[in-house]
Amino acid sequence: MPTDLVRHPDETTTFRVVRRTAAGAVSPLMLGVLGVVILAVVYPIVADRTLQPLALFVIPVLITAALGSWRETATVGALAFTVSLIEALVPDKMETAALVARMVIISVTVGVGMLVAFERERRQRVIDESQSRGLLLDTLQDSLVPVPVPPPGIVVRVRYIPGDDRMLLGGDFFDAIALPNGALGYIIGDVCGQGPRAAAFGAALRSGWKTLATVSPDEPLAWVQGLDDSFFRLGRHADTYATFNTGLVEPGVRRWRFVSAGHPWPIVLGAETPSMVQPFVGPPLGLGFRSGWKESEQALGDGAVLLLYTDGLIENPLPEAPQRRDGERRLLDYLDRRGTFDMDSLLRELGPEGFQDDVAVMAITATSGH
């Protein structure tokens, strides 16, 4: 069955700029040397020997500084200095003061050219490193955002928007897999915090959940208790906490069994008014509670959509009233007046100027029996 995954509505592609020289192209060093050689040949013919315009020899240096490295600039500069000195001394000897003045001008120009080339190289390295880090983070983000693999009879659509656009990494996590018993197992949750640490811990929770769900496919409560044991009770304790909703959907009977650990209430979209399910909500993992979770169960009508989300969706402030965070009411109002449910439209409605926090949304539809 189809799945739909979009990380960000206005997602952009990260490009890395690589400096390269085309095969057969003239390098800056070769261009600079060629310029000095041409000037050495032409200078005695066209130059006014009374004026001795030796400053012409800085032209190849400046070209090399603009196009090449500081080492290439130094090489061309040394060659230009030597040739210009020879041109000044042969055949007519220039006065010492005039010669020194001209050589100082050439030397200063070479030095400035080297500094300019060095600074340009330094800035290019910073840009390349920044783009490389962006590419690395984009690759890491790809590995942290799973593609749901539902069983036949179930459609899963997801959207994920990291709140920290600088890092492209967030603490929200989700997954949906086909369980050995033929049902869909899912998890959607939120690790406290943003950035790489929250993203890494969310990925670890998701990986642990997948193992527990595969081993015990019919026991959502055992998944929660197993995660609590693995990450917060046994061994080194995690220094954060997480909320999530996890459960399974059986496509044949359209039965939904789930456990909520401090997570926002899900919504069932049927033919009538959307219904916010208010199940028993246990405590988040990581706050020191060792029990308190309970399994809930509900039937899903034919074609019903189960909408699950993280709190970033409903805690986003209004652009015209930043102090207001009545996201639950706004969410229900939008769903109540909707025509066909569209996830992208939902995100535009609740985050017209983007979201401050990470947002994950999952829509599950049991379409038919086996």
Residue 2 binned pLDDT confidence (cut-offs 50, 70, 90) = very low
Expressed as residue numbers, the domain containing 54 is: 28-139
Are 180 and 316 within one domain? yes
Are 268 and 361 within one domain? yes
Are 110 and 215 within one domain? no
- Please state the pTM of the whole predicted model: 0.64
Q: Of the residues 139, 164, 184, which one is the last residue of a structural domain?
A: 139
Are 302 and 165 within one domain? yes
Q: Judge whether 118 lies within some domain.
A: yes
Q: For residue range 143-187, what is the model confidence (pLDDT) as tens digits?
A: 667 888 999 989 999 998 876 554 556 788 999 999 999 999 999
Are 229 and 357 within one domain? yes
Q: Of the residues 124, 139, 154, which one is the last residue of a structural domain?
A: 139
The 3 state secondary structure assigned to the chain is: CCEEEECCCCCCCCCCCCCCCCCCCCCHHHHHHHHHHHHHHHHHHHCCCCCCCHHHHHHHHHHHHHHCCHHHHHHHHHHHHHHHHHHHHCCCCCCHHHHHHHHHHHHHHHHHHHHHHHHHHHHHHHHHHHHHHHHHHHHHHHHHCCCCECCCCEEEEEEEECCCCCCCCCCEEEEEEECCCCCEEEEEEEECCCHHHHHHHHHHHHHHHHHHHHHCCCCHHHHHHHHHHHHHHCCCCCCCCEEEEEEEEECCCCEEEEEEECCCCCEEECCCCCEECCCCEECCECCCCCCCCCCEEEECCCCCEEEEECCCCCCCCECCECCCCCHHHHHHHHHHCCCCCCHHHHHHHHCECECCCCEEEEEEEECCCC
- Higher-pLDDT residue of 183, 321: 183
**Dihedral-angle region of residue 2 (phi above 0 means left; psi in -120 to 50 means alpha; beta otherwise):** beta
Q: Of the residues 117, 139, 161, which one is the last residue of a structural domain?
A: 139
Residue 142 binned pLDDT confidence (cut-offs 50, 70, 90) = low
Q: Judge whether 192 lies within some domain.
A: yes
pLDDT, average across residues 123-141: 74
pLDDT over 50 at 21, yes or no: no
Q: Judge whether 15 lies within some domain.
A: no
Q: Judge whether 274 lies within some domain.
A: yes
Are 123 and 150 within one domain? no
pLDDT, average across residues 341-368: 85
Q: For residue range 57-101, what is the model confidence (pLDDT) as tens digits?
A: 999 999 999 898 999 999 999 999 999 888 888 766 677 888 888
Q: For residue range 227-274, what is the model confidence (pLDDT) as tens digits?
A: 998 888 876 566 789 999 999 999 877 889 999 999 999 999 876 667
Residue 299 binned pLDDT confidence (cut-offs 50, 70, 90) = confident
Q: Judge whether 158 lies within some domain.
A: yes
Q: Judge whether 11 lies within some domain.
A: no
Are 115 and 168 within one domain? no
- The CATH number for 337's domain is 3.60.40.10
Q: Judge whether 19 lies within some domain.
A: no
Distance CA 190, CA 358 (A): 8
Q: What pLDDT score was predicted for residue 129?
A: 83
Are 167 and 281 within one domain? yes
Specify the number of domains making up the chain.
2
Classify each residue of 82-101 as buried b or exposed e, where b means 16 or more C-beta atoms within 10 Å of its C-beta.
ebbbebbeeeeebeeeebee
Structure tokens at 2: 């189809």
Q: What percent of the chain has pLDDT over 90?
A: 33
Q: What pLDDT score was predicted for residue 348?
A: 87
Are 205 and 135 within one domain? no
Q: Judge whether 94 lies within some domain.
A: yes
Are 353 and 256 within one domain? yes
Are 359 and 228 within one domain? yes
Are 211 and 261 within one domain? yes
Q: For the chain, give the mean pLDDT.
A: 81
